[in-house]
Structure 1
């Protein structure tokens, strides 16, 4: 096997394997399923007779993956937090890490025949770009497996309990590579119908006795059994011209058989001879098959469907086989084990690109497409945050928002739907599973308890608060990539801040603008000579300089700003006295006076940009949650900042999230519409009937999904991630200590211990 994952199979054959994402199929309306079916037919038809391919669906227990759900608390944290962490880990184990929780992974393996590696590499590369692009149209992202990834996949079959990492570093250190890394510790092939690989009893089965009209849910029924199994569809496309000739020859043979049957009946004295019913049905089916190949966009394939099961005892293996038999029987099919050919079956079911079995059946494109591998979108990103359980497949949802082009998002949900609690659980997960900085803008004061529990810094922004926050805070990265000099950007912010604070509806006049810019440049002179915290100026320093300027406009500005610097609204006049270096900061603006709301929000947003630009230079991500985001969208300046952050934030490592009850609250303004357009993550909880039209336009939901959104329980809903829509259940038990810190509805205090509540 080469480093790029291409495997030399011998006899000039090479193969490569791609992982592909699932897409919504079984939970969509009939028209959508038809479109998906037709596009999958196009995918099958794009392969010619010079290639063969396999479709794999690998179902395995979550406990046998390298996904780690436990979170760790530092020894220095409070006992209260340690208790919350321990209870949360126990909850995750009960819910997800038991042997009853399974995940699915889907792959396609393509085999080509070329004389050397370079030719195989080029051809497989073209297949990955051209043919697998048809899966992209279905919403299925694909990724070619490299050598360590492909070896890991094969080892899951040969050595299921070996979860150690396969990497080039490990190969170099151990001197063990390729086959030695994945070969079973022992292999017993002395039995007729099963093989023992190490401690596991394994059996390869094949699907047979297909009915003329098979349901498209068969593959889903088998692979959602929550049993350890690997299902493989081996496909060998046939040359269209040769296929038609072969079917015609078959028809001629059947016609001769029919004539022979009629002739025998005449000799026996039968007055009205008729062909046997079975023969007549075969002829009719073959004629229809030929017509499909000639008139419709159908090709002919030789294919088989193999199922590989494994268990630690013969009894358990037999029970899995019985469960598969029950599912298959409902579709009118049967399964049989390979007898005296289990080794060939094993070689043909694993993702290597070989088909050494004698079982091959003829299919048209549409009949083969009935074994469609799609079910519902599954999102299981290693290292991702947990967003509960997939409501349809019951599998865990682990999502890494950083994987998407725009990681920004929104939480929408009616009051009591679990929206805020869901966002708090995302914060909890983010705190323990990443090292990123986190900022929360909290107009209602609802996140204070959780932030204090986590040891974060709550900054109460109000006239009565003792905390002080300096709008002149700056760092050398403030200008971002555009300009290494941060002062022009800070000057622009101070001009805008004074403009909104003093309510200049038509904008500050040019003279006043120049005066402010001059004072900003002068007040930062010491800082620019020696950039350190001690040299960062304050609003009071700026005010002192402003009063010294000779222009009348300066005198007017100074008089207007006096209340905010030396008067009763001077909360932003001095140096910051809070720990702004804490990785979790929450701005509580619940008690911020009306006269300071716009000014305060502008300063908070500037602080956010200060941190975002600094973290970009440090190659660090910044998460921002803005609750009641519609309040910031009402003011032009704060709305513009949000819009720019949503548009530019990706290259600065920003992951921004807005929260509000109704979609129309955010979509009412052009700024909100632009933010939604630049968000690939949208979380929807229970919605009012009046919001359904807005939701439907935003997400393109089915009638069933729309109905579910109006009736779903608290903590249940659906979300959009990229082009995928996933229905989720993220409810938490209220007896957990953590619930006391994330509950937002006072009515929840009346629930009984052990009740499931929004999470």
Structure 2
């Protein structure tokens, strides 16, 4: 109610304009979970420590700051996913024995409901997990950045499983043999019907060429084969907002010639697979070579904060 009201109004307008056009204070965090199979805990600990040191060395080479998280930090991440409103995380290892509780009691949401096919309830909020169908012949490294630019509660997960090199080459050779057998069948049919045996279904010709190119990459270009599962988890306050968020994420996928498909009756497995535990219960996988998987690696770009 004084002479400065005009200035206050102007300043408020500037802040509101910045809020509308800026990143709204959204923070992006990136985690890398690595898992191994071992006979006992002692062996696993030694191997995981060694892998952790190797990875920190690789990150340093890329000019990227990283650190290994301890148990409490990992629990805090899980708590943050299950409590999207940002409730404070209170926990101490000394509380477990007297209270008789486990670590799960400190990170679990107030409720989880998996009654419907395509959504689930998460402590008063709604969530949905979708998987990315990679249909594009070439992928852009902007894709992941665009997913993370969407102004909504979104978790993008990539499960990458390396395949043994000799096994991968054997598999592709088997596929090429199968395609050749189908080609011979088609040629026999053509000869019997009395038309040119070089006329083959276009799919057969395309897949045959693709398989041979892939084999060539693995054998001559020092590439490996990986199985990738790409999951996107959206969380929102209302079903309508959730629908809009999923639609927006699907639009990003479509821009890069891929499609985002909602998981049917697998929302629970999808949620477990979206947690940074290294567990993948969704067996919808796409095989990609080293250079294709490298497109998705988000750790190289440095985020700038003012």
TM-score of the pair, normalised by structure 2: 0.88
Structure 2 CA distance, aligned partners of 1:196 and 1:130? 39
Answering whether residue 207 of structure 2 is matched by residue 282 of structure 1, we say yes
1:375 Cα offset (Å): 6.8
Question: 2:246 maps to which residue?
Answer: 321
Structure 2 partner of 1:339:
264
Q: Is 1:135 matched with 2:59?
A: yes
Structure 1: distance between partners of 2:138 and 2:276: 29
Matching residue of 2:76: 152
Q: Conserved in 2, the CA contact under 8 Å of 1:244 and 1:290?
A: yes
Contact in 1 for aligned 2:125/2:237 (Cα 8 Å): yes
Question: Where does residue 108 of structure 2 map in the other structure?
Answer: 183
| RMSD of Structure 2 on Structure 1 (CA) | 2.7
Which of 214, 219, 222 is the matching residue for 1:294? Answer: 219
SS in 2 for 1:246: helix
- Higher-Rg structure is 1
Q: Is structure 2 residue 164 aligned with structure 1 residue 239?
A: yes
- Write the deviation string for residues 112-161 of structure 1: whole angstroms up to 9, x where unpaired: 11122221111110001113311111111221111121111111222223
In the TM superposition, residue 184 of structure 1 has moved relative to its aligned partner by 1.9
What is the number of equivalent residue pairs in this alignment? Answer: 295
Change (3 A) 1:286 1:225: same
Q: Matched residue of 1:115: which SS? A: coil
Counterpart-to-counterpart distance in 2, 1:244 and 1:345: 30
2:45 maps to 1:121: yes
Counterparts of 1:55-94 in structure 2, within 5 Å, are none
Alignment check: 8 A CA contact 1:101 1:226 kept: no
Separation (CA, whole Å) in 2 of partners of 1:129 and 1:375: 18
Please give the per-residue CA displacement for 1:718-741, whole angstroms capped at 9, x wherever unaligned: xxxxxxxxxx5xxxxxxxxxxxxx
CA contact (8 A) 1:171 1:177 kept: no
Bigger RCO (CA 8 Å, 6+ sep):
2
1:257-306 Cα distance to aligned partner (Å, 9 max, x none): 11112222222222344221112111111111100100012001111111
2:273 aligned residue: 348
CA distance in 1, matches of 2:54, 2:186: 50
**Structure 2: gaps (5+ residues):** 1-7
Residue 276 to residue 230, structure 1, CA distance change in 2 (3 Å): same
Partners of 2:142 and 2:119 in 1: CA distance: 28
* Cα displacement (A) at 1:202: 0.7
Q: Is the 8 A contact 2:229 2:286 kept in 1?
A: yes
1:259 corresponds in structure 2 to: 184
Check whether the contact 1:159–1:184 (CA below 8 A) recurs between aligned residues. Answer: yes
Tell me: CA distance 1:341–1:165, structure 2 relative to 1, closer, same or farther (3 Å): closer
Counterpart CA distance in 2 for 1:171 and 1:318 is 40
The answer for the alignment partner of 1:207 in structure 2 is 132
CA contact (8 A) 1:203 1:309 kept: yes
Structure number with higher strand proportion: 1
Cα offset for 1:91? Answer: 10
Alignment-derived partner of residue 30 in structure 1? none
What aligned pairs does 1:433-582 form with structure 2 within 5 A after superposition?
none
Q: 1:258 is paired with a residue of what secondary structure?
A: helix
Checking the alignment, whether the CA contact within 8 Å between 1:220 and 1:374 is kept in structure 2 is no
| Alignment CA distance shift 1:106-1:263 (3 Å) | same
Residue 195 (structure 1) aligned to one of 120, 128, 132: 120
Instruction: Provide the residue aligned with 2:153 in structure 1.
Output: 228
- The answer to which structure has the higher helix fraction is 2
- The verdict on how the C-alpha distance between 1:258 and 1:193 changes in structure 2, with shifts beyond 3 A counting, is same
Contact 1:207 1:335 in 2 (8 A): yes
